[in-house]
Amino acid sequence: MWRDAWLVAGRDLRIEARSRVALWQVLPFAILVLFLFAFSFGPQRSQLVSSAPGLFWLALLFSTVLFAQRSRALEGSPATRESTRLLGLDPAGVFLGKMMALSVELVLLEILLTLGVIFLFHVVVMSWLILVSSCLLAALGLSAVSVLYGALSGESRMRATLLPVLMLPIAAPVLIAGVRSFQAALEQGGGLGGRWVGVLAVFSVVYSALGIGLYGALEEN
Amino acid sequence: MRQRLYKALGPVAFVLVLLTVWLGLFVTPPDVDQGELVRLVYIHPALAWVALYVAFGMAALCSVLYLWPRTRSMVFDYLAAAAVEVGVVFTILTLITGSIWGRPTWGVWWTWDARLTSTALLGVLFLGYLALRRVPADPHVRARRCAVAALFAAVDVPIVHFSVLWWQTLHQGATVLNSNLTPTIHGSMAWTLLLSFVAFTLVFVWMVIARYRIEVIRVAGQDVALEAAIASRRAEGVPS
Amino acid sequence: MAPAIHLRSAVVVVGRFPVLAGVDLDLDEGSVSAVLGANGAGKTSLLRLLAGLVPVEGGQATILSHDLTTERQALRQHVGLLGHDAGMYEELVPKENIVFALRAARLDPTRAEPALERVGIQGRLAKTPMGQLSAGQQRRVGLALLLARRPQVWLLDEPHAALDSEARTLLGELVEEAAVGGAIVVATSHEPNLVLPMADRVITMAGGVVIDNQPGLRKPPGASHVA
């Protein structure tokens, strides 16, 4: 399983490095979302600081939907998917590999968004431990959900509209826990950040386990 | 025997609902604090019970049974889909009756407390399941995808519930079973409340069975069509 | 000895349409079969069935001792499919695609380069992403993958399409080598004159069934006649 996971993760990251869709399309989209939020809330510093946690996680969530669609598209044409199925890869390994590759991309996005809210919204982070741990766990959980729902939405032409409808409600706990942990990271002492990081950990573990168990069933004809 | 039970189920459920309405509107007294508004307690909690626990639980259980190889059967797929379809109706009714109750009680049509938010999210998850069900696909592929989607949703709802609970709550505490397991509702109101749970659960069961029967008939028609399609397909190969 | 591929009244349904409506077919190891038929006859569907990519709705289907009603997944690693689409990742170069496939199939990745050289994909072409190669060049890379994997079953869907005359000659050589090595080769085609010389069986399909099964022009090694 792990052997196939590394193989698939390497494939996805290599393809992404060549095509640079994440770099030239998704990351600019995320920054654009931050700017649009700032336009809608107004330039007052206090307003932006209090809204920053929500804006960060909303921008991340919307961008994750694009990443999820991209992750599915990396599988190639239907013929390419069939050719790959003939190779005998362990479905759990494929899931883990795609999840790892997508997690790397999400972490890069989180770094960019963190810099964005620090410089654009003037937030001051008091607990980097809570912020980093919540971001890492959220990346794992969101990538698991993205890969699963990418497979769930299949090859349908409706995938572009179906994926957000399916994925975003499932990701709601990540949004709630992420915002709360970000708010805690802005407080001296970290507040109740530990509890919310725990929620993110539970979410990540549960959906990773589900993905390992069920991805193969989703990919089968 | 099953036919007779099913035929009796509809009228029995209808009668019980009528009885609940009669008792709730005309027999039970108004509440000391909420006055006449309390009469919604004979509808709203029962609808929520069916939506959140019965419908969703059934959809999740049937989905697990479908995914488990030893119990895999299209029957569970049809039952899960029927439960979700009926569950959407009950969820919407729960939210509407909750809003009607909330407006005079809290002063707002909507508030972000744990139960309301979880219920609304459940409704959206149900709708996502139905949207997925309408994507053209082989029946077995569709059944597998929908079963997985239901399972994911089932896992998600408790996580959401506790997340939102820690976030904020305004909802009335449990009426019958609070943390001390002491009922806070008494007498005729308690019995009417219990009756409402039974009545609406039976309505749900009747609707799910009806929807399941429709699906079975539809699929049987497709099987007949498949036999004809095979014969027609083979005839393509016969030189004219 | 039981045939390596055995189909009896095999039915495959896609959506609600029976793409295969009861196929009867027996093929031995070392055989090369040409499958002919009009558009929509079920040729490609037959290949997908033989690859274990679609479920069998009715009848019997056994390939290399794998019952396709229960062991489709186990069969796949023994099968190579060359479809209309090369089935490769467009952003990766030929060698990367083949090395990925070999590693996934637990095979030696050093087989990639010799295979690519054999089909004439080397130098600049070997470093060009698949999406920028011509259809014929992509086909050659697909052939190289088959050559590198050496599966027991070769399934070729209109293999001559997009290939120039040199590549078509090479295809014939590769098919003969595979069959002599014991592989079962099944090739569909719209061009009988190209595929008949390399086949010892000519199967004609229509309406999702086999309507004719005749000897071809190829004489298997050691055979005095073809049944």
Contact C18 B236 (CB under 8 A): no
Of A148, A173, A210, the CB nearest to B163: A173
The region of weakest confidence among A67-71, A100-104, B34-38, C206-210 is: B34-38
Alpha carbon distance B140, B146 (integer Å) = 10
Overall average pLDDT of the A94-118 stretch:
92
Residue-range definition of the domain harbouring residue C181: 5-87+151-215
pLDDT at B238: 64
The CATH number linked to C201 is: 3.40.50.300
Contact C207 B138 (CB under 8 A): no
Greater confidence, A192 or B116?
A: B116
Contact A153 B164 (CB under 8 A): no
Overall average pLDDT of the A150-166 stretch:
77
Cβ atoms of residues C36 and C202 within 8 Å: yes
Residue C105 located in a structural domain? no
* Sheet with C58-63, edge to edge strand ranges: C17-27, C5-14, C58-63, C66-67
Contact A169 B137 (CB under 8 A): no
Residue C110 located in a structural domain? no
Give the chain C residue whose CA is nearest to the CA of B227.
Answer: C18
Model-level pTM? 0.83
Measured between CA atoms, how close is A94 to chain C, in angstroms? 10
Best of C91, C127, C145 to mutate (most A CBs within 10 Å, chain A):
C91
Percent pLDDT > 90 in chain A is 33
pLDDT at A150: 86
Question: Of the candidates B100, B144, B146, B93, which has an alpha carbon nearest to the alpha carbon of residue B119?
Answer: B93
Contact A83 C81 (CB under 8 A): yes
Tell me the count of B-C CB pairs closer than 8 A: 41
Overall average pLDDT of the A184-190 stretch:
75
**pLDDT < 70 regions, chain C:** 220-227
Residue C120 located in a structural domain? no
Contact A156 B162 (CB under 8 A): no
Alpha carbon distance A97, A111 (integer Å) = 22
Best of C69, C71, C103, C146 to mutate (most A CBs within 10 Å, chain A):
C103
pLDDT at C227: 38
Residue C61 located in a structural domain? yes
Q: Percent helix, strand, coil in chain A (nearest 5)?
A: 85, 0, 15
What one-character DSSP code corresponds to residue C5? E
Considering its fold, how many domains does chain C have in total?
1
Alpha carbon distance C172, C82 (integer Å) = 14
Measured between CA atoms, how close is C81 to chain A, in angstroms? 7
C-alpha separations of C165 from C82, C135, C160, C169, C194 in Å: 18, 14, 9, 6, 11
Best of A87, A155, A221 to mutate (most C CBs within 10 Å, chain C):
A87
The contact set of B with A (CB < 8 A) is 67, 121, 124-125, 127-128, 131-132, 135-138, 141, 144-145, 148-149, 151-153, 155-156, 159-160, 162-164, 166-167
pLDDT at B26: 82
Q: What is the pLDDT along chain B (240 residues), one digit of tens a residue?
A: 777 777 888 888 899 999 888 888 888 777 767 677 777 788 888 998 898 889 999 999 999 999 988 888 999 999 999 999 999 999 999 999 888 888 887 787 887 777 777 888 888 888 989 988 988 778 888 899 999 999 888 888 777 777 777 766 444 554 444 444 445 566 777 888 889 999 999 999 999 999 999 999 988 887 777 778 888 888 776 665
- Per DSSP, the residues of A183-216 read HHHTSGGGTTHHHHHHHHHHHHHHHHHHHHHHHH
Residue C123 located in a structural domain? no
